[in-house]
Amino acid sequence: MSNEVHCPYCNARQGVSDRDDYRPYYVNCAECARRFIVEPVKSGVVVYRDGEAPCCSDPECREIEMADSGQD
Ligand SMILES: [Zn+2]
């Protein structure tokens, strides 16, 4: 199964494959080559522009947060 998303910059359709988990990931648009974030959710996927996602939905921000809280 796969999902289809619309690029938040140019609105081009882009197919994304389902993942095994709900972690957000980056997608590079095939049309405008800009990077955006796709976050799988139960009902499908949520798309964010790079830099506009909340930290928990931003792959890079999550990595930083997890590294920071590693001492817990
Ligand atoms: Zn695009």
Ligand 1 center–CA 54 separation, angstroms: 21
Q: What pLDDT is attached to residue 71?
A: 57
* Predicted local confidence at residue 67, as pLDDT: 83
Q: How far is the CA of 31 from the centre of ligand 1 (A)?
A: 5
What separation in Å is there between the alpha carbon of 35 and the centre of ligand 1? 8
Q: What are the per-10-residue average pLDDT scores of the chain (72 residues)? A: 88 87 92 96 91 93 81 56
Distance from residue 70's CA to the centre of ligand 1 (Å): 35
**Which amino acid type is present at position 68?**
D
DSSP class per residue in the chain: -EEEEE-TTT--EEEEE--SS---EEEE-TTT--EEEEEEETTEEEEEETTTS-GGG-HHHHHHHHHHGGG-
* CA of 27 relative to ligand 1 center, distance in Å: 10
Q: What is the pLDDT of residue 36?
A: 97
pLDDT at 37: 96
Measured CA to CA, the distance from residue 30 to residue 23 in angstroms comes to 22
The answer to whether 24 touches 38, Cβ cutoff 8 Å, is yes
